[in-house]
Homo-oligomer: A and B are copies of this chain.
Amino acid sequence: MRKNLVHISGRLVPENEAKISIFDSAVMLGDTVTESTRTFLHKPFKLEEHIERLYKSLKVVRNDIGYGKEEMLRISLEVLNTNLEEYGASEDCWLVHNISRGISIAGSDPTSTSNEATVMIFVQPMDLRSWAPFYIDGCHAVTPMSRAIPSQSMDARIKNRSRMAYTLAEAEVKLIDPHAQSVILDIYGNVSENKGGNVFVVTGGVLKTPTTGNCLAGITRETTLQLAKKLGITAEETILQPYDLATADEVFFTSTPYCIMPATRFNGITIGDGRVGPVTKKLMAAWSDLVGLDIIEQARNQLKD
């Protein structure tokens, strides 16, 4: 059993002692920005970019935590490396940042706090078992009835933990299929994003994904677009609608843990010929190349344990 040391505002504590006050604005207001980075072969993938985006989120929510990106990087690597000592060579992990504004004062201005920000940094084993079958068979992509929060209410690019709307949408797609993965639409009916990832289609050989006007500017999304460019696959950031998914040749999701997750059904309709398509496969292979391990094999090995 690993001890899993957690960083909480400067202190390192074992996971089972990693607690915060119920009066923290994280609990009282969902006032937490976040990043989740994963390792490949124990190396954090694009950690600097995650920290860059973390500080963008902090800026937009007007939370000044008192130190900058370099110090955050140093602390993060410390937390990561300390914990990785107890990981096996074939095991990878998440490195998660959660930062709230600190203790919330009842009845006062929610933007002010009585103390410093609460910085939580922790490591968790990369458990890929729920996604592993999808690399081969594809998942079932389903649109919930609820719609994404529009940017004029709160921009999806602020990566945050006020995620009840996502949880409710997820519960809706599970009504159709307990293993369904969500394709959340924006309030105009255009494809926005998955609960925790981005959505891509391949049609006539062209890769398409929504612009970041209505979804998270995913780092995995960005990396996938870069890989496509390298592979000579034409890619477009454009408006996608359910019709595009239902009639696509291929559909897949991108997100930090699984990199690429193929979908072979959409709202009960078979996508293409119902099998993971050639462009998706090419991109998964390119991801494996990029990160230095076979991402499909790693996930499927976990199923065997």
Q: Are B56 and A247 in contact (CB under 8 A)?
A: yes
* Least CB distance, A215 to chain B, in whole angstroms: 12
Q: How many subunits of this chain does the assembly comprise? A: 6
Q: Are A153 and B187 in contact (CB under 8 A)?
A: yes
Q: Are B185 and A152 in contact (CB under 8 A)?
A: yes
Q: Are B144 and A154 in contact (CB under 8 A)?
A: no
B residues less than 8 Å from A108 (CB atoms): 127, 130
Chain A residues 121-137 with CB under 8 Å of chain B are 122, 124, 126-128, 130-131
**Binary contact readout A246-288 vs B (1 if CB under 8 angstroms, 0 otherwise):** 1100000000010000000001110000000000000000000
Tally of chain A residues near chain B (CB < 8 A): 91
Chain A residues 159-207 with CB under 8 Å of chain B are 160-168, 170-172, 174-176, 185, 187-190, 195
Contact of A19 with B by CB under 8 A: yes
Contact of A111 with B by CB under 8 A: yes
Q: Are B29 and A27 in contact (CB under 8 A)?
A: no
Q: Are B62 and A269 in contact (CB under 8 A)?
A: yes
Q: Are B267 and A172 in contact (CB under 8 A)?
A: yes
Q: Are B145 and A153 in contact (CB under 8 A)?
A: no
* A-side interface mostly: loop
B residues less than 8 Å from A25 (CB atoms): 167
A261–B152 alpha-carbon span in the complex (Å): 25
B residues less than 8 Å from A32 (CB atoms): 27, 30, 164
Q: Are A110 and B152 in contact (CB under 8 A)?
A: no
Contact of A18 with B by CB under 8 A: yes
Q: Are A155 and B267 in contact (CB under 8 A)?
A: no
Q: Are B162 and A110 in contact (CB under 8 A)?
A: no
Q: Are B27 and A18 in contact (CB under 8 A)?
A: no
Identify which of A69-77, A83-91, A234-242 touches chain B.
Answer: A234-242
Q: A111-B174, A213-B238 are in contact. List 5 more A-B contacts (CB 8 A).
A: A29-B167, A30-B161, A106-B124, A160-B164, A162-B162
Q: List 27 A-B contacts (CB under 8 A).
A: A6-B22, A22-B98, A29-B164, A30-B30, A59-B246, A59-B269, A60-B247, A94-B107, A107-B128, A108-B127, A109-B130, A109-B170, A109-B174, A110-B166, A110-B170, A148-B153, A150-B150, A150-B153, A150-B188, A152-B241, A154-B168, A155-B242, A158-B243, A161-B164, A176-B176, A190-B213, A213-B241
